[in-house]
Amino acid sequence: MTDRVTIGQAAAFAGVTVKTVRHYHKHGLIDEPRRDKSGYRRYGSADLLRLVQIRTLAAAGVPLAEIGAILDADPDRFAAALVDVERRLNDRIDDLIARRDMLHRLATGDRALLPDRVLAKLDRVAADLGFTPDDVTMAREGLVLIRALVPEGFDDYISQVERGLDDPRYVSLIRRMWRAAEWEPDDPRVDELATAMADHYLAHPALLPIPAGLQARADGAIRHRLLIHHGEEQKPAWIRLRALIEARMRSAGIDIASTPVAGGGDL
């Protein structure tokens, strides 16, 4: 049996470890050779070829559970199996590329959590309204929350906001609302703005930024509070502004207790 080698030599010649060879045996990918008179298992050239084939397919990403059937198949089935493996590898490559791109986008904050078209719209609106970088971040965070909390209504909400931005008066009020974030809560301009916004909503109720599906949810009130209170801890004037708008509209017979009318989610 001088033409045969030990498991250590076979592993070295095939470019794998002894542990790997034994792992292949365990999975039934290669038969264990018989022992010689000294009690050692000896591997011949056919075994070495099989080890190299297994190693090559495994390195290409073929699952060990499939390698045996591929190697034992006829030429046509072998070729078809390799085509299928290539397809799955391409799918994995596409997935990895998508994940890499996601990581690159995350380097710019939470922009990866919103569709490109929404980010493009936000960038344009931010420029038109004179948003500061902090304003842009808060608006983006509000949109991320809306998408997470009311996913089924997100697209309709964006379309609704886009329609509102065609109304010059509404745009002017929203611009003032964002400026109000820097006012003191008792600034008389807060009262004036609240009245103006409430009157505009009363005249144009379709402009009320209510994500579709919010009120239909059993836990809609909780989701609503998470949305409208986002950012308020940093903008005390918004708390008073929202309360005044709600009071003004309730006095007109409209209860908007579950309607977001200010805060980070309202562009």
- pLDDT tens-digit readout, 109-122: 566 678 888 888 88
| Over residues 203-216, mean pLDDT | 74
DSSP secondary structure letter of residue 211: -
Q: Does 25 or 229 have the greater pLDDT score?
A: 25
Quote the percentage of the chain above a pLDDT of 90.
27
Token pair belonging to 6: 């030990």
The Cα-based distances of 49 to 10, 19, 121, 260 in angstroms read 10, 18, 60, 70
| Over residues 65-92, mean pLDDT | 88
DSSP secondary structure letter of residue 33: P
Give residue 209's pLDDT band: very low, low, confident or very high (50, 70, 90): low
pLDDT at 148 (0 to 100):
85
What residues are paired with 5 via a beta bridge? 43
Give residue 127's pLDDT band: very low, low, confident or very high (50, 70, 90): confident
Q: Does 52 or 150 have the greater pLDDT score?
A: 52
pLDDT at 106 (0 to 100):
61
**Spatial distance between the Cα atoms of 229 and 250, rounded to a whole number of angstroms:** 19
Give residue 212's pLDDT band: very low, low, confident or very high (50, 70, 90): low
| pTM recorded for the entire structure | 0.53
pLDDT at 160 (0 to 100):
82
**Spatial distance between the Cα atoms of 66 and 76, rounded to a whole number of angstroms:** 16
Fill in the amino acid letter for 94: D
* CB count in 10 Å sphere of residue 1: 12
